[in-house]
Amino acid sequence: MISVEKKLFGIYKGEKIFRYELKNSNGFQVNILNLGGIITGIYVKDKKGNIKNTVLGYQEIEKYIGNSAYPGAIIGRTAGRIKNGEFSIDGVKYSLGKNDGKNSLHGGKEGLNDKIYNVKELGNGIELSYISPHMEEGYPGTVEFKILYLINENNGLSLEYNAVSDRKTYINLTNHTYFNLSGNLEKNGDEQILKIKADNVCELGSGLIPTGNFISVENTVFDFREGLKIKDGIEKGHSQFKITRAYDHPFILNYSGVENEPQIILYSEYSGIEMEIRTTERSVVIYTGNYLDDVSEFQEEKGQNRRYLGVTIETQDFPDGINIKNFNVKPLKAGEKYYSKTTYKFNIV
């Protein structure tokens, strides 16, 4: 039996912010805010049968406001950085809100992470909706967004992203949850073992913008095909880390489709919790929390070095793809349906 409970979380911009708690009969629970679609907690039983929180989050709404780490939030209208905060569609140049030096990051100054959504409760989850007006943050088109958070009795969570625009535009959505499967932040996030079915990764240039070139993962710290402890890769290092500090790269998935074997697996030896990820997207940005030491202390933190405390697994199309010919990213046409789905399944191994 799946239940949905609604609890007051705080006040933002004069409006009530609620936490929606999705629960199944196994003790699996996912908490989501109507602010930014923020996932504040995912609770899973570990190998000892104890229920543990597996994501980074806060109990106070104030710590989410203006948080440069975007913990748990929906990211859009476009994920990642847009070079020089601009792109063109059909010869018309659009200038976006710049919030990362000369670039636009994660949708601009007030992206989808900062919006208050209407919520429809469903039998197995919730649907968040928001209408983004034409030229909000510089993006063309009035866009209706609908994002579904659904759980099942097999400890699965699915995120389904839907959007329709009244004119040609550019959309690339993701979620920015930081995972730490040790549970209750009992170990650092870089102690996790990550496996990715990806033969190539995008090369990054200055400003962390993809160059359009690909790097083969063979014999590099980007080779997660058979599984690698994140810490080992960071310590071994790579010339790309001079730009990023550690991992903050789009991995090109070898296949797409949520019905196949998982493209991505994250695992904690400490808790025995494993998370399988399947996605319809072509790439996943792995960010190892390289600058988490710049934000507020997280709930359940135990005095660790906050850097690398959690890892985001941002399933999406290529960042800045509309500006990079090699990536073959097309604008969304007027009336065309944008759809993306990512599923997360939690197991004990």
Would you state the structure tokens that stand for residue 116, as one six-digit string?
């208050």
Please say if 314 is a catalytic residue.
Answer: yes
Cα–Cα distance measured from residue 266 to residue 269, given in angstroms and rounded to the nearest whole number: 10
Please say if 110 is a catalytic residue.
Answer: no
The residue from 176, 191, 276, 281 that is catalytic is: 176
Cα–Cα distance measured from residue 141 to residue 228, given in angstroms and rounded to the nearest whole number: 42
* Strand pairing report for 337-348 and 311-316: unpaired
Would you state the structure tokens that stand for residue 88, as one six-digit string?
């063109």
Q: Which helix (H) or strand (E) covers residue 250, if one does? A: strand 248-253
Which is nearest to 56 in space by CA: 175, 140, 173?
175
The residue from 160, 191, 274, 314 that is catalytic is: 314
Would you state the structure tokens that stand for residue 125, as one six-digit string?
């989850």
What residues contact residue 345 under an 8 Å CB cut-off, 6+ apart?
154, 155, 156, 157, 262, 275, 276, 277, 278
Q: What are phi and psi of 209, to 5 degrees?
A: -90, 135
* Strand pairing report for 337-348 and 273-279: antiparallel
Burial (Cβ within 10 Å: 0-12, 13-18, ≥19) of residue 22:
buried
* Residues labelled catalytic: 176, 314
